[in-house]
Structures are given as C-alpha cells and as structure tokens.
Amino acid sequence: MPSSENIQIYLTGVWRMMLGKADGLRLLDLTADGFWNSFFAIVVALPALMVGWVGVANELSAMSGDFGSRLSIALRFAMIDLMVWVLPIVVLAAVVSWVGLADRFVHLVVASNWAAALFIWVTVPVPLAGLILPLGPETRILLSFVLLVLNLFVTWRVTHIAVAKGAAVTSAVVAGMFFLSLMIQAFLMAALGLGQAS
C-alpha cells in the first residue's frame, strides 16, 4: 500500500499529464510494485464513488417507491463500477502483446488508475449536488454529457503520454477501452437487473 505522501505525488503526476505535461509520468512508480500499488487508487476513489452510488440508489428507489431497495441498488452499482474499472485492464493485459503495447502496458495502467481516482474526486461535486439539490432530468443529462466529454479529453491526454506512440494509437486505445467499458457496463446492468431502471 502506498503512503499518503506517495499517493499525493502520483495524483500530482497524473494531474500534470491531464494538463498535457509529459514530465508528470516521471512522478509515477512504474515498477512492478508500483503497478500493483496503483490499484489502491480504487480505495482512494471509494468515498467519492459512494456519493454517486447513493445518489443513483435514492433516485431509482424513489421512482419504484421501494426505499428498502436502496442498499441493494447501491451495492449493485458499486459492483458494476468496480468491474468496469478492472475488467478492461484484464482484457488489455490479454491482448497487449498483440496490439504492440507490451512495452507501455505498465505505464498505461499505472497512469490510468491514478488518473481515474483523481478525476472522480475532482468531479464529485456533481453527484454531491444531486444529493442536495433537486436536479431535473435535463440537467442531469447535460451534466453527465459534460463529464463524459471531459473524461474522454483528459483520458486521451493521459493515455497519449503513457503510451508514447502517437495520436492514432492513443485514439485507438482510448476508443477501444471506452467501448469495452460500455459493453461491460451494459452487460452487468442487465445481469444485475438494472437495465430497466437505467
């Protein structure tokens, strides 16, 4: 488990990468230990993720009128988010040599993990506002769209620096991981009985 000081350094590194500064990569631990430690980013992101799970659970249970189902809905969305975080990395690991990214796999995973944690914390005011303020469906859709575009933008920047193989390869990696995440999410939502609720 990385120390709080190291976590701060890693988050600073990916913040610089999000700003397009390649020197941010040098602040990350790209060793074997650093690779496995980067999954601690999930733990770092958990409090912020919980805000989103609670908000969605409240909304869906209110729609169904069954407030007793809030915990069940929140736990199912937690499982989905965690699987959407981890499974694309597992798939990438299986094809990394075939797609020519074996030499940058560790860089990509470490940077992506810490960047995801940072992005979740930076954008937590949006789901938090949904818990406090009565946001209409149009506002929710607009905010979700803005966050999606922003997420793709910073993901592209971080990936571009991490893989260091040009814009075309970066775009292919980001698109591939994005659509894979969408497919995993859709499958799990249907499997966990959340397809109709969404």
Note the pLDDT tens digit of each residue in 156-191.
999 999 999 999 999 999 999 999 999 999 999 889
Distance CA 166, CA 160 (A): 7
197 in a structural domain: no
Q: Give the count of domains, the chain.
A: 1
Mean residue pLDDT across the chain: 90
Range of the domain at 92: 4-191
196 in a structural domain: no
pLDDT at 197 over 50: no
80 in a structural domain: yes
Lowest mean pLDDT among 86-95, 119-128, 177-186: 119-128
